[in-house]
Amino acid sequence: MKKILLTVAALAVAPAAFAQVEIGLKVSPSIVYLRPDSPGATSFTSEKAKLSFGGGIFMDYFFGENYAFNTGLFLTGKGGTIAYNDRAAAPAGGTTGVRVEQKIAMQYLELPLTVKLFTNEVAPDTRVYFQVGGSVAVPVQVRINGDKYYTDPYDNKNQTKAGKHIFDIDANIIGGAGVEYQLGQSTKLLAGLSYHHGLVDFDRYFERTRGFSDVNIKNSVFALDLGLKF
């Protein structure tokens, strides 16, 4: 019994022995695009990706020598250009729709919740890491075709606030990898690539206001992650 208690105590203390918090800043230039889906009548497609930029503060909480829980707070840019078939915007008497493009630019306040797995040193003071997990985010700014208000081309009168087109929360799956280099006793540089796969259909305009059926639009982000730990 005594041996069992000692073993349990040792297991409980072990994570605390490795517990270490590292805080840093990260910037992430990104290529972002939208993943629309709809029936053939409206034929939503992704037309163009866009360059975006994000950044913020992050924390790695190590619960083992090579394992860390990662979180932080970031301002992240998302969006892209979509196109769809709008029969209501066709000229009077027309039987075919008009192809309409819409450029959507969004900024989100994002909270990542991921795990980082580190290798041992692959070169002096250099370790490779792999990152997997997810994030939740809320939109803080939305522009459509560069403006905070949007006038739909089907009647040129129905003006709506761009922020009303977007759902109030987003969620993503995150996967990535990178390299971390030890500069000094507590200073480290990191560089990596990550992909953020949006899970939430953020459209709150085409179905509710225009009456289109089964429209889904989701975010995707490819990011270059550059960071500095203190």
Q: Which residue has the tokens 């975006």?
A: 52
Whole-number Å distance between alpha carbons of 171 and 151? 28
Rg over alpha carbons for the chain, rounded to the nearest Å, is 23
Rounded to whole angstroms, the maximal C-alpha distance in the chain is 89
- Residue 98 — pLDDT band, cuts 50, 70, 90? confident
Whole-number pLDDT of residue 95 = 57
For residue 24, the SS3 value is: strand
pLDDT band for position 195 (50/70/90)?
Answer: very high
Q: Are 176 and 163 in contact (CB under 8 A)?
A: no
Mean pLDDT of 94-106: 85
Q: What is the per-residue pLDDT for 185?
A: 85
Res 89: pLDDT: 62
- pLDDT bin (cut points 50, 70, 90) of residue 124 is very high
Q: Which CATH architecture has domain 23-229?
A: Beta Barrel (2.40)
Amino acid in the structure at residue 45: T
What is the distance between the terminal CA atoms of the chain, rounded to a whole angstrom? Answer: 45
pLDDT surpassing 90 at residue 159: no
Structure tokens of 134?
């997810």
